[in-house]
Amino acid sequence: MADVFLSYKRDDEAAAARVVRALRAGGLSVWWDQDIPPAAPWEATIEHELEGAKAVIVAWSRASAASENVKAEARRARHKGKLIQVFIEPCDPPLFFGEHQGLKLAGWTGEAQDIRFQMLLTAVRAVIDGKPPPSGVGFAPRKAPRWRWWAVFAAIVALVMVFLIVGELVALNPPAKSPARAVLTARAALLAKVAGVWGLPAEAGRPACQARFAYSVERRGPDDAIRLRGLGVDSVGKVVSAEGGSIFTRTITPASQAGSQWELRLEGDRLIQVDAANVSTTLVKCAG
């Protein structure tokens, strides 16, 4: 089993082959789908190698950014804390994979001494050794175990219960104003600020809000929920907490992401979205 797994789209085979050859020449064991034996089960072999690799490189291009298989492999690697991102051509990464966070290898023809490849080699070796790689390679550390999220959730629930109990006690004294009511009012105001249309900020060659996402606040039984729609994404997250400028949600739909924790954080006129792997995406408010 190889230490490095390369995820790419078959359209980019020539560029992917250059990465494989250079990494192997640098002394690393690398696996890609060209190594699957003719009689081996395709999906099972890929999943086995993906799980066993210590580092996973995803080669983003317009073709791979649209590939569900590549995105699924990248999500699995990011969840495990072993994803390194490279851009073999200028393109926008898929939603929630950061804003061009990764090594730019567009135009690289395979020279081992190229500073960009040397940065990639250093990053891969660090991840294999269980160390944080240099910044700028689209790396996200392994997310905290699920029990930690439940611990945070339990603490938040306990805090809310305290507010509610205090509110009931204060309500017995008519002149006093209920703290619980103030908390609920602040919560509603924070949720209202998130509702609307947000988009990616302007970059070279791309105006702001070219890619848009609509956030709406809904009621799901006794709970508040936030729905996100845009670019083929339609997800709903139950609001776990909403205070101090941050909203934490737990995904309800789609089922493949159920239970994952997200944060929406308002910073001035910007919305910072942090996914379950602690990767943040900055959005700006869009008109209409």
Residue recorded with tokens 């050859």: 21
Q: What is the dihedral of CA 22, 25, 30, 34, to 10 degrees?
A: 70
Closest alpha carbon to 59 in 18, 29, 95 = 18
- Quick: pLDDT tens for 96-129: 776 557 899 999 999 999 999 999 999 999 999 9
What pLDDT, on the 0 to 100 scale, is given for residue 168?
A: 66
Residue 227 contacts residue 233 (beta carbons within 8 Å): no
What pLDDT, on the 0 to 100 scale, is given for residue 159?
A: 67
What pLDDT, on the 0 to 100 scale, is given for residue 164?
A: 67
What pLDDT, on the 0 to 100 scale, is given for residue 86?
A: 95
Low-confidence residues of the chain: pLDDT under 50 = 147
